[in-house]
Structure 1
Amino acid sequence: MEIRPATVSDLDAVMAIYDYARQRMAESGNPSQWIDGYPSREVILADIDAGNSYVIVSDGSISGVFTFIVGDDPSYAEIDGAWPDNSPYGTIHRIAAAPGVKGLADKCLDYCLTKGVNIRIDTHADNAPMLGWIAKRGFLYCGIIRVANGTPRRAFQLSL
């Protein structure tokens, strides 16, 4: 698997992966995390334009996508709980895999860890697969944050 920055020419493949991810979330008991077409083409284009969107390519096809933003995340400024420290961090957002792809989250995290900052991530309370992966990879539960639309998310940090 190779990780590279996403480009505008990747947009259709990326959006197809997000469509699949929304369907899988709903089927696994998490119908309310990515609602109303989130993430939209506009959100992903903004990620691409900012240089924060990445694709994972295997056998010449895009097998997954994620956003990684190094720097302060406005959603993390207020937390019902506490961050373990105020060291520089990067945030993983909008991670999704194509049908049948396994191990994508591990590849994403391994890549993000090469950036030399703590890693933060959040997810919906009903996202059991992601919560299981977060626990397996040793993230510390820090509390509840609210995303842009005001809904709560469980927030975690993996310190270097």
Structure 2
Amino acid sequence: MTHSNTTGKASPRRFRHATMRDFPQMQKIYAHARALMAASGNPTQWGHEFPRESVILDDIANQRTMLLVDECNGRERILAQFALCPGQDPTYATIDGAWLDDDSYVTIHRIASSGLVRHAARDCIKWALKHYGNVRADTHPNNKAMQHVLESSGFARCGLIQLLDRPTDTTRIAYQRHEW
């Protein structure tokens, strides 16, 4: 996965777990993602504060956050980040539609690109599929970019789910891909 960029020669992309040292840069990437979503007609999915600091720190502490990184001019860069959550997701227990199956799965949550390179989110999704095989995700109806990434990555649109962790703006489109 070596990709060219405009800021110098980059090393191949690789994945690693986030550490607490990564937290400040991760906060900047989430802020960038929130601004980009708002500018593209999706201001409410993450609003001004999502993901909450406590959630990000918990993801890091529990080894759920994966980073897509490379090196450019001798410095590591975070290209994208996401939480990879194994086990049953309570939000997915009820769906207006149907999941592809009831097999065990992992869920991709809180995916965000730094904007430094193209196709970073797609690379994260491909990595998750390669390593876990059965992957679920969801996104806001206004998040056309993520819908495109998921659908062009072979995910099936399974129906609608309702988030459990907020009082309003709870509808999300649910996706699944199972590598048989």
Q: Secondary structure at the match of 2:22?
A: helix
Q: Aligned residue for 2:24?
A: 12
TM-score, length basis structure 1: 0.95
Q: Answer with 93-102 or 123-132: which moved more.
A: 93-102
Q: Aligned residue for 2:175?
A: 156
Report if aligned partners of 1:63, 1:97 keep a CA contact under 8 Å in 2: yes
Bigger relative contact order, structure 1 or 2, given CA contacts below 8 A and separation 6+? Answer: 1
Report if aligned partners of 2:162, 2:172 keep a CA contact under 8 Å in 1: yes
Unaligned runs of 5+ in 2: 1-12
Deviation at 1:116, TM superposition (A): 3.2
Q: Aligned residue for 2:5?
A: none
Q: Aligned residue for 2:9?
A: none
Equivalent residue for 2:115, pick from 99, 105, 112:
99
Quote the RMSD (CA, aligned, Å): 1.1
**Counterparts of 1:118 and 1:111, CA distance in 2:** 12
Aligned length: 160
Q: Aligned residue for 1:80?
A: 96
Unaligned runs of 5+ in 1: none
> 4+ runs of 1 displaced by more than 4 Å?
none
Q: Secondary structure at the match of 1:122?
A: strand
Q: Secondary structure at the match of 2:132?
A: coil
Q: Aligned residue for 1:137?
A: 153
Aligned pairs for 1:49-88 within 5 A: 49-59=61-71, 60-88=76-104
Report if aligned partners of 1:20, 1:98 keep a CA contact under 8 Å in 2: yes
**AA at the equivalent of 1:63:** L
TM-score, length basis structure 2: 0.85
Q: Which string of whole-angstrom CA distances, capped at 9 and with x for unpartnered residues, describes residues 24-76 of structure 1?
A: 00000100100240002111001111110111111111121101112111110
Equivalent residue for 1:115, pick from 131, 135, 144:
131
Deviation at 1:100, TM superposition (A): 3.2
**AA at the equivalent of 1:149:** R
Equivalent residue for 2:39, pick from 24, 27, 32:
27
